[in-house]
Chains A and B, each alone.
Chain A
Amino acid sequence: MSWNKNLSSMDVDEEEDDMPTIRTADYSKMTKSFDVGTRAKSLDIDELMEEQSPESALSQLVRSWVAERGAPVVLEWQGEIVDEVMSQIEEQSKIVDSLKSDDRSTDEEHFQLILVQTEVERAKYVITSYVRARLSKIEEHAQYIVKNPSTHSNLSGIELSHARKFWRLIETHYQMSVLQGLPTAMRGLEDSHNGKSMVIEPDLDRAIFIRARRNVGQVQLPQQSIELMKGDNYLVSFRDVSYLIASGAVEIV
């Protein structure tokens, strides 16, 4: 069962197009000064997002990280972005080190250094959390991943080999501690019993929050169809919108 909820609609944009210019300005001024609800907030977020193009590698990584933590399946590995952020971290750490050992740096510079160092720590945290979020999903569904080559394209080489080795490790453990004591006919790990498979699969029906990054138009969901405009927020089942996420038209929040 999926239930969709329009959290904040962005039909403001459309109205602006039809209205005379002066009124639009008045209208948006009014919204900003008087309406502190969701509408005004999502407007601000939207403006911020637009200003940031082209996006920095770090903010791209933050977006992938948020998506990765929300999605039930392992999403595409953003190797290039991670590499980019890692080399930025390295570069900045080098600059910080050289400036720190330099006695001629002023107090103000030292203060700036602290800010940069904090930023570096944060970037490291995002990388760690991103990688670990993926890893925990990979390990949870290791058996499923190993048996389904279609899932391999989203993994990096090292992640795939980790999934394989991890599953072998688990399998050995089960063999040693349980299965070898059982009668030969009962040693399988892939029985499906009463329609329940032993393979743990990702729950594709999990509800996720999405935000449209551009105008998508009509989207057909099992029970209704929705008009998905840029900035719209919805709560939907992952299965229904996975193709939109893959194309980058919507993001998980």
Chain B
Amino acid sequence: MSQQYTDIAHRLIQQSRRSHLTDSLYAYDDASVREITRECRYLNSQINDTVERLTNEADQSLMESDKPTLAQLTILNLCAQRNKRCLLGYHHHRLNKLRDLYWKSGAALAHLLNEHDNGGIRDELSPTEVDFLRGYSSLITQYKSPFLDVVDITSGSLEPPKDLHISVRVVRDAGLIETQGGPVDFRVGQRFMVRRSDVERLLVQGYLEQVD
């Protein structure tokens, strides 16, 4: 094996870093994750073997046995721990990113979990991550329900509202939408002057575009 232990883990962390700097979500790197877990198990079996050999070999206690082997044990253990932390770091970063995307999409889970061509991120996720998003979404729904009769905390961006009405252009067909001033049929290319709170969700999901 030409490469050293924890090399793949290092690559994984670099991927997270790149994703963080470019503010984009990469596809879940299943191959690397498997590779690293395999390395961890291998390291662990090495550690166990060495410890067993040492205890069988000599009567003296472990601390007094030969120094090189002890050093080797330390290295193996450190590598295994490092692998674990890198793995968790990678997953932690992805979860943060996913939560971020979830809020940015205005808590529209179905929209978010679309295939790539429809503006979703499903192709980029591992099955467990899809489960996580589902679970998270139901948590947020529970959380916001007591506020819901007055304000939907998931709707909209975190920009302070300046005007009551905004001028929008329709980018994708949104169909018939019920607004406070009656139903409006949003078709591509049309322009409307509408209440911001009515179309917040459509703006976030990319059906409408604000025109200044």
Contact = CB atoms under 8 A, between A and B. Distances in A.
Interface of A: 86, 89-90, 114, 117-118, 121-122, 124-125, 127-129, 131-132, 135, 139, 158, 162, 165-166, 169-170, 172-174, 176-178, 181-183, 185-186, 189, 191, 193, 198
Given A121-B161, A183-B41, A169 B91 contact: no
B15 interface: no
Nearest to A188: B84
B164 A166 contact: no
Given A139-B99, A166-B139, A193-B85, A182 B37 contact: yes
Nearest to A185: B44
A177 B196 contact: no
Contact of B143 (A86, A129, A162, A172): A162
B100 to A, nearest CB: 10
A169 B133 CA distance: 10
B108 interface: no
B153 A186 contact: no
B146 interface: yes
A132 B91 CA distance: 23
A176 B91 CA distance: 11
Interface in B32-89: 33-34, 37, 40-41, 44, 80-81, 84-85, 87-88
Contacts of A177: 33, 91, 126, 128-129
B88 A174 contact: yes
Contacts of B153: 127-128, 131-132
Contacts of B147: 86, 127, 131
Contact of B151 (A86, A162, A174): A86
Nearest to B40: A182
A118 B164 contact: yes
A181 B158 contact: no
B79 to A, nearest CB: 12
Contacts, number: 100
A159 to B, nearest CB: 8
Give the interface size class of chain B.
Answer: 35 or more
23 contacts: A86-B147, A117-B164, A122-B161, A125-B161, A127-B147, A128-B158, A131-B147, A132-B158, A135-B143, A139-B99, A158-B146, A169-B135, A170-B95, A170-B132, A172-B135, A176-B128, A177-B129, A181-B41, A183-B40, A186-B84, A191-B81, A193-B81, A198-B88
A177 B197 CA distance: 39
Given A118-B164, A158-B146, A162-B143, A173 B44 contact: no
Contacts of B88: 174, 178, 189, 198
A89 B151 CA distance: 9
Nearest to A138: B143
A128 B143 CA distance: 12
Nearest to A132: B153
A142 B31 CA distance: 30
A203 B86 CA distance: 22
B51 to A, nearest CB: 12
Contact of B91 (A178, A191, A198): A178
Contacts of B128: 173, 176-177
B182 interface: no
Nearest to B158: A129
B150 interface: yes
Contacts of A176: 128, 131
Contacts of A189: 88
B5 interface: no
B207 interface: no
A49 B118 CA distance: 51
Contacts of A135: 143
